[in-house]
Amino acid sequence: MDHPIAPAGITRRRALTVTGGMLAGAALAGHAFPAFAGESQDADAIVVGHGLAGLVATAELAAAGRKVLLLDQEPEASLGGQAFWSFGGLFFVDSEEQRLMGVKDNHDLAWQDWLGSAGFDRGVADPAGQDHWAYKWAEAYVDFASGEKRSWLAGLGVQWFPIVGWAERGGGLADGHGNSVPRFHVTWGTGPAVVEPFEKKVRAAVAAGKAGFRFRHRVDGIVTTGGAVSGVRGAVLEPSSAARGKPSSRTVIGEFELRAPVVVVTSGGIGANHDLVRQNWPARLGAPPKSMVTGVPAHVDGRMLAITERAGGRIVNPDRMWHYTEGLRNYDPIWPGHGIRILPGPSSMWFDATGKRFGAPDLPGYDTLHTLGSITASGYDYSWFVTTQKIIAKEFALSGSEQNPDLTNKNVWQLLSRIWQTPEPIEKFKKNGADFVVAGTLSELVAGMNKLTGDNLIDLARLKAQIEARDREMDNPYSKDVQVMGIRNALSYIGDSLSRTAPAHKILDPSAGPLIAVRLNVLTRKTLGGLQTDLSGRVLGPSGEPVPGLYAAGEVAGFGGGGVHGYRSLEGTFLGGCLFSGRQAGRAAAAATAT
């Protein structure tokens, strides 16, 4: 891996400070644009995509006095995009919440974890390399997460649940993949509470005449004049009363062309387009699954990637993606193929489709992409958790704001009820979900697992032998079983012992029952590659030069630079990537359109 070396005496944090001060000047030097000019143009800037990154960029542009139009193919009901549906997890470093939990974190440890997870290896030191700007964005983002990120959001009224979660614990080495310490901060109010302050800012700008919504405007092309962006064109779709997240009509009732010297693309990734997911699937993860569930609404279709590429933008790292291994088929779906992810604690036993137990690092909550590769290598599209009622009551959480009404609605009493009962959404999935098998004995459980899949792959004797071997390791406070060691490790962290890890016990202990098996599906979610951007959010062309007037932020830009995460995410960094890249692009575009 090639890493650029900073000049002696200049720290990363100092370099970022200097860079931040130079962004506006660099943008101005690259291309200067007139301010809003009435008849000659419709706005100073057009933002394509009304998700979180789009809202943040629009808010920054409007705050700087620019007239901005915010377009999206979806109706107003879906304002906020995917972020609204999220768990609201945010990655902070050395936060007040971490210190309250006794967690010792710092910038250098976070940067070590980021590099160990990202594995940047595509021309970091080469200005033409796919990872060149991704690395720079990663440096800037870790500085942001270690610095002003929390205070900036807190100043907007955002708050967090005090117990910090420990996601993506990694592959077992200090300098390898994973979070060395808990860093997953759940927003009080989940995804809607992250969206809320920026939606309020944009709506206030609309009311003041500084911004305008253009719902049901599907962009089909970015217009360029003389090599520079001059606006967008597309189709006006018929009005839709579709509820948030529900598929909306694609019936065209007109066309439009809007003029502006700046276009900011914030249209999201490809997660709902399984054809694109499979087309870009990396060989290192085996063959793409024939069957997957979908973690994002149908409008997350990836259209704007190709459209922006045709306007001169460069797409990098398209084979880097983040899909989950613990997907459930939603018994009450909102969008087609709607899947929900289990955010597991460390105790459930994990088996492939044939009933063979996974080894490290394929443990619940440790290394998502390694486990995904192990699942595809098994020759099947699914795997199994074998667990107990005692485990799911304390360790299972479900992704999505709608699956966490206590946190989303800020209901303290409902939240406290998790202490003495299994959360209602978990029980509903256990009762109604197509992927759950509940039984009083192991033989009954195996019969139910084989009946569910119809392939009779699970052998009772083999499964029993593996579970009993693991259970024997519970007789002492130490063990050679890596997963059992991980459980003991989790219980030493007060946050996990309070809310995310069940007391260590044997799976076949009748008092911990009933036994539960959960079929786990591959769940499509995030695009880690995308449009390559510099630290101003300017979209770069194949030659490495900015496309005049073209910016991108959020998932469509790989959350910054065309892949700020590299190969793997540390979690809590998707919403944060939208916030940071949307802010960077909005501020730089505002500077570029100053008179």
pLDDT band for position 28 (cuts 50, 70, 90): very low
Mean pLDDT over 22-28 rounds to 37
Total-model pTM: 0.93
> Letter for the amino acid at 134?
A
- Among 5-9, 216-220, 259-263, 397-401, the range scoring the smallest mean pLDDT is 5-9
3-class secondary structure, 301: coil
- Residue 533 is given by DSSP the state B
Taking the alpha carbons at both ends of the chain, their separation in whole angstroms is 43
With a cut of 90, say whether residue 38 has pLDDT above it: no
Residue pLDDT, tens place only, 350-391: 999 999 999 999 999 999 999 999 999 999 999 999 999 999
Burial track 388-427 (b if 16+ CB lie within 10 A, e otherwise): bbbbbbbbbbbbbbbbbbbbbeeeeeebeebeeebbebbe
With a cut of 70, say whether residue 60 has pLDDT above it: yes
Task: Give, for 143, the enclosing helix (H) or strand (E).
Answer: helix 132-146
What distance in Å separates the CA atoms of residue 456 and residue 454, rounded to the nearest whole number? 6
Q: Quote the pLDDT of residue 35.
A: 38
With a cut of 80, say whether residue 441 has pLDDT above it: yes
Contacts of 214 (CB under 8 A, 6+ apart): 69, 70, 71, 72, 256, 258
Mean pLDDT over 96-117 rounds to 98
Secondary structure of 326-391 in HEC code, one letter for each residue: EEEECCCCCCCCEEEEEECCCCCEEEECCCCECCCCCCCCCCHHHHHHHHHHCCCCEEEEEEEHHH
Closest CA to 133 of 142, 123, 119: 123
Closest CA to 521 of 592, 458, 459, 434: 434
Q: Which two tokens stand for residue 337?
A: 């193929």
Contacts of 234 (CB under 8 A, 6+ apart): 217, 218, 219, 220, 221, 255, 256
Residue pLDDT, tens place only, 249-266: 999 999 999 999 999 999
Q: Which residue did the predictor score with more confidence, 38 or 190?
A: 190
Mean pLDDT over 403-422 rounds to 92
Residue pLDDT, tens place only, 133-152: 999 999 999 999 999 999 99
CB 90 within 8 A of CB 68: no
Q: Quote the pLDDT of residue 524.
A: 98
Burial of 242 (0-12, 13-18, 19+ CB in 10 A): middle
Mean pLDDT over 429-458 rounds to 97
What is the signed CA dihedral for 65, 69, 74, 80, rounded to 10 degrees?
-10
Task: Give, for 235, the enclosing helix (H) or strand (E).
Answer: strand 228-237
What distance in Å separates the CA atoms of residue 516 and residue 502, rounded to the nearest whole number? 15
Mean pLDDT over 284-305 rounds to 97
Residue pLDDT, tens place only, 309-328: 999 999 999 999 999 999 99
- Among 6-20, 367-381, 438-452, 466-480, the range scoring the smallest mean pLDDT is 6-20
With a cut of 50, say whether residue 25 has pLDDT above it: no
With a cut of 80, say whether residue 20 has pLDDT above it: no
pLDDT band for position 192 (cuts 50, 70, 90): very high
pLDDT band for position 18 (cuts 50, 70, 90): very low
Q: Which two tokens stand for residue 442?
A: 């192991």
CA torsion through residues 426, 431, 433, 436, sign: positive
Beta bridge partners of 384: 351, 519
Q: Quote the pLDDT of residue 39.
A: 52
Q: How far is CA 83 from CA 317, 400, 465, 572, in A?
A: 23, 9, 43, 12
With a cut of 70, say whether residue 34 has pLDDT above it: no
**What's the mean pLDDT when you consider all of the chain?**
93
Q: Quote the pLDDT of residue 40.
A: 82
Beta bridge partners of 233: 221, 257
Backbone angles phi, psi at 188, to 5 degrees: -70, 105
Task: Report the percent of the chain where pLDDT is more than 90.
Answer: 92
With a cut of 60, say whether residue 333 has pLDDT above it: yes
Residue pLDDT, tens place only, 521-558: 999 999 999 999 999 999 999 999 999 999 999 999 99
Largest CA distance in the chain: 79
CA torsion through residues 180, 578, 587, 266, sign: positive
Residue pLDDT, tens place only, 81-90: 999 999 999 9
Closest CA to 44 of 578, 429, 551, 575: 551
3-state helix, strand, coil in the chain (%, to 5): 40, 20, 40
CA of residue 200 relative to chain centroid, distance? 23
With a cut of 80, say whether residue 27 has pLDDT above it: no
CA torsion through residues 369, 517, 87, 330, sign: positive
pLDDT band for position 595 (cuts 50, 70, 90): confident
